[in-house]
A = this chain, B = another copy of it.
Amino acid sequence: MTSKSITSYDVAKAANVSQSAVSRAFSPGAPIAQQTRARILKVASELGYQPNAIARSMSTARNDIRQKSGMVGVIVTRPEDPFFAHSIARFSRSLQAKGWQMLLFTVDDQTGVDDALNSLMQFKIDGVIILSAILSEHMADICRSHGIPVLLYNRSGGDFAVNSVQIENREGGRTAAKLLCEVDHKRIAFVGGEVDDATSRERKEGFIARLAEDGCELFLEEAGDFTFDSGREAGARLFSRTERPDAIFCASDVMALGVLHVARLQFDLHAPQDFSLIGFDDIPAAAWPGHELTTIRQPIRRMIQAAVDILVAQMSTSDVPPQTPRFPGTLIVRDTVRKAFRSN
């Protein structure tokens, strides 16, 4: 058992060439005769030889050139959340398509990111994508000094220079506010994520700013944590008040569905008859039966395309300045916002 695997030496012997010839046969632009390469490749496949990626990674660490592993680290906080599950799925396929392996690391919250990155760096990842979290400035420095590009997805890098790809949160908030004002809502509530969550805060800021332009103020506000249950709880608190909100904007679809749930089951309140509801993300379930949730869609496909392009570019060429594109969201009108104008 645990038989040694076939190495380039075995192939070399069988093909009657040197070991370096075998190496060259497997290196795309290497100087080697077509014939030799063909013969080696044939022998190799007969023997079932596969180059050892780990060993390759070792030997590329020469001449002050950083060791390349062909692996990209992906750090994620809520992998079970539909939005992130979809994002991870797309990252995986997109990275693979370009020849990179994905090392997935799950952290419980923001505080685990630095440790995760340390673990990942021991494996000499060539780049890292962080979903919905940020790294410390200290870690950012370390990555920079090691030449490891970092990309923040769904978060911005704040002061220090790292790549980030995300949606126009403020504009998304404005879009929601505009729609709610158009149908003349007056008691408008916002359900966000944790109070220090940057994404949630930006959505809220845009929302409030646009409300103000119509002379409207935020009526109520609740904080959740982007889970369904937290949406239910926030909804329960909102609907338990003597004066209930007549419209709610949630920082995520999952929380909006939680609100919908508690409204229906615990208060017998329905959207859009009794209140209007807008979510954010446009997860598949938003379109499902009984939901028909009006929401702001994130262009996941394009965001991930951009993210991978940026990261790959920086992993290949150094000295590419950090990119921080922002993508516009799209209002998806379904059935949770009342249609007609009603004066009181």
List A residues at the B interface (Cβ < 8 Å): 1-5, 48, 50-55, 57-58, 64-67, 69-71, 74, 79-80, 82, 85-86, 88-89, 92-93, 96, 101-106, 118-124, 142, 145-147, 228, 257, 260-261, 264-265, 284-285, 288-291, 318-319
A103 close to B106 (CB less than 8 A): no
Contacts of A66 in B (CB 8 A): 2, 4-5
Q: Which of B54, B70, B106, B257 contacts A288 (CB 8 A)?
A: B257
Tell me the complex Cα distance, A103–B71, Å.
9
A52 close to B122 (CB less than 8 A): yes
14 A-B contact pairs sorted by A residue (CB < 8 Å): A2-B146, A3-B147, A48-B142, A52-B67, A53-B122, A53-B124, A54-B67, A54-B123, A79-B85, A85-B85, A101-B123, A102-B103, A102-B104, A228-B288
**A191: shortest Cβ distance to chain B, in Å?**
16
Q: Which of B79, B92, B123, B261 contacts A53 (CB 8 A)?
A: B123
B261 close to A289 (CB less than 8 A): yes
Q: Which of B89, B146, B291 contacts A79 (CB 8 A)?
A: B89
A106 close to B101 (CB less than 8 A): no
**A10: shortest Cβ distance to chain B, in Å?**
14
Residue among A54, A118, A123 with max Cβ neighbours from chain B (10 Å) = A54
Give the secondary structure class of A's interface.
mixed
Tell me the complex Cα distance, A88–B5, Å.
30
Which partner residue on chain B sits nearest A264 by CB separation? B289
Contacts of A71 in B (CB 8 A): 103, 123
Say whether, besides A122-B53, A264-B289, A289-B257, A96 and B102 are in contact (CB < 8 Å): no
B106 close to A104 (CB less than 8 A): no
Supplied contacts A5-B66, A50-B121, 7 more A-B pairs, CB within 8 Å: A1-B318, A53-B124, A88-B88, A93-B106, A96-B105, A228-B288, A265-B289
A289 close to B288 (CB less than 8 A): no
Q: Which of B58, B85, B289, B318 contacts A80 (CB 8 A)?
A: B85
